[in-house]
């Protein structure tokens, strides 16, 4: 999803798995570098978004175990990373997410990758993200993992201090710091992003439920106004939609993938965030950390 969604943690599968065309799939099926063991796993990952969430949860957990059981193969780490990327699109259960995280961690131990210049490689950032924001258990003293955790902490400190002013679709100006005294949920989204679209009805329901208690939702898109307006004409929401031309606010928040959401309490403190799509229940838990229940 936009540099999709998530530090471009999905690297390999953005086009090849989740969003590949039928012609691209046919070409990959003929790729001799994919083993007979890898190919069915790859194809199941490609179809995860097409199945109901309860089935998806069970399938995701089994895929994690199947990947872990693979011998050390060319695509094992990429498969583990692609599955981890998709496993945060909602709530598929703590056990499922832990199995996915363990699979990624073990794949990295089997196939360690070098630093990206002076920065930790994206795979270690992905693993650190699962630990920091999804609270999955990771046991690693790898220097890149340690550096990745430190990088995420530094980014959160920056987001806690950020301020911005943007205009919504009706021409009203909104400034984050001026909203102290209210609970603010800042959501980054786009019309082309399936997980973004999927969580919008839940966000709208929560806004209508809590707006009289001081909840403000600011949903930010970097797309052209005409495209956003056209989408909202078909899928309206009641919370403000802000435009971020030039991605200046996206850059302030260090957004490399969407959807992402950040919750600030009434004192303006960043108290919760999500790295991906959330369900209404998950959003409620985030808002609870700001005192809304």
Every domain of the chain and the residues it spans: 13-155, 165-288
- The reported pLDDT for the residue numbered 32 is 64
Residues of the chain with pLDDT under 50: 1-29
Name 46's Cβ contacts closer than 8 Å, sequence gap at least 6: 13, 17, 18, 20, 25
Sheet hosting strand 215-221, strand order edge to edge: 173-175, 165-168, 241-243, 215-221, 183-188, 260-264, 270-274
Look at the block and give the residue holding tokens 């100006």: 173
pTM summary value: 0.86
Question: Tokens representing 177?
Answer: 């710091």
125, 221 contact by CB (below 8 A) = no
Distance CA 194, CA 146 (A): 32
190, 221 contact by CB (below 8 A) = yes
Architecture of domain 165-288: 3-Layer(aba) Sandwich (3.40)
């Amino acid at each position: 999803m936009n540099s999709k969604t998530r530090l471009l943690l999905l690297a390999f599968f953005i086009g090849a798995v989740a969003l590949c065309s039928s012609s691209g799939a046919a070409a990959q099926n003929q790729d001799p570098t994919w083993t007979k063991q890898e190919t069915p796993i790859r194809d199941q990952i490609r179809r995860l978004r097409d199945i109901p969430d309860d089935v998806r949860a069970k399938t995701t957990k089994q895929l994690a175990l199947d990947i872990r059981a693979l011998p050390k193969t060319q695509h094992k780490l990429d498969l583990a990373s692609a599955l981890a990327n998709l496993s945060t699109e909602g709530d598929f259960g703590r056990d499922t997410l832990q199995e996915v995280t363990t699979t990624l961690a073990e794949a990295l131990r089997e196939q360690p990758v070098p630093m990206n210049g002076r920065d930790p490689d994206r795979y270690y950032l992905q693993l650190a993200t699962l630990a920091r924001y999804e609270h999955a258990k990771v046991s690693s003293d790898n220097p890149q993992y340690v550096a990745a955790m430190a990088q995420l902490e530094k980014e959160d400190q920056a987001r806690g201090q950020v301020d911005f002013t943007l205009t919504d679709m009706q021409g009203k100006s909104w400034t984050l710091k001026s909203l102290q005294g209210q609970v603010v949920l800042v959501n980054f989204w786009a019309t082309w992003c399936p997980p973004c679209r999927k969580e919008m009805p839940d966000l709208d329901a929560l806004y209508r439920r809590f707006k009289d208690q001081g909840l403000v939702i600011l949903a930010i898109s970097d797309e052209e106004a005409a495209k956003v307006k056209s989408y909202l004409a078909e899928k309206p929401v009641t919370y403000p939609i802000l435009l971020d031309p030039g991605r200046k606010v996206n850059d302030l928040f260090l957004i490399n993938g969407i959807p992402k959401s950040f919750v600030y309490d009434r004192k303006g403190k960043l108290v919760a965030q999500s790295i991906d799509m959330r369900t209404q229940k998950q959003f409620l838990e985030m808002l609870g950390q700001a005192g809304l229940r």
